[in-house]
Amino acid sequence: MANRVNLKQLGELLVEIGLITKDQLNHALEIQKNKGGLIGQVLVDLGYVSEEAIAQAITAQYGFPYLPLENYEIDSEIVKIVPKNVAIQYCLIPLDKIGGNLTIAMANPLNNQAVEDIVLLSGLYVQLFVSTASDIKKAIEKYYK
């Protein structure tokens, strides 16, 4: 499917490169366990790290291209490929489809489960871009009427 390098969990990656401490990650994981949500978003909500820093870390570490979405136009037919609840659950949005390839933007492309779900849902090969959670949420609001 997507490039299956040995992907660390997002939290581990952020600790390893020094963006957050192990204690901060453990605190965020506790909150996530109680309240749910995506770990990246929990860390941002706690003020431990910015969305941009997370996106840049993923880009630097794994080479996923970064794509700011504010001026990106998405075809309404493309949006239909991924149901709204799935887009919200994984904080992602489909951007384009060329042949058997579906391009999606995700706040956390290290989430293998999300990628596998999209592949199963769409029957397409998935190409990933990194975007901030805020950008993706705005795009979801804009394109899923």
Neighbours of 143 (CB within 10 A): 18
SS3 87: helix
Q: Is residue 92 part of a domain?
A: yes
d(CA 138, CA 21): 29
CATH of the domain at 133: 3.30.300.160
Burial label, 72 (beta-carbon count in 10 A; 0-12, 13-18, 19+): middle
pLDDT of res. 2: 41
Q: What is the mean pLDDT of each run of 10 residues along the chain (145 residues)?
A: 57 93 95 90 95 92 91 93 96 96 94 94 95 95 93
Task: Give the residue numbers spanning the domain of 28.
Answer: 10-62
pTM of the model: 0.85
pLDDT value for 70: 87
Q: What is the pLDDT of residue 62?
A: 87
Could you tell me if 89 and 138 lie in one domain? yes
* Confidence at residue 48, expressed as pLDDT on a 0 to 100 scale: 97
> 35: helix, coil or strand?
helix
- Terminal alpha carbon distance of the chain: 30
Contacts of 73 (CB under 8 A, 6+ apart): none
Q: Within this chain, do residues 49 and 93 fall inside the same structural domain, yes or no?
A: no
Please tell me the predicted confidence (pLDDT) of residue 145.
Answer: 82
Per the domain annotation, does 68 fall within a domain? no
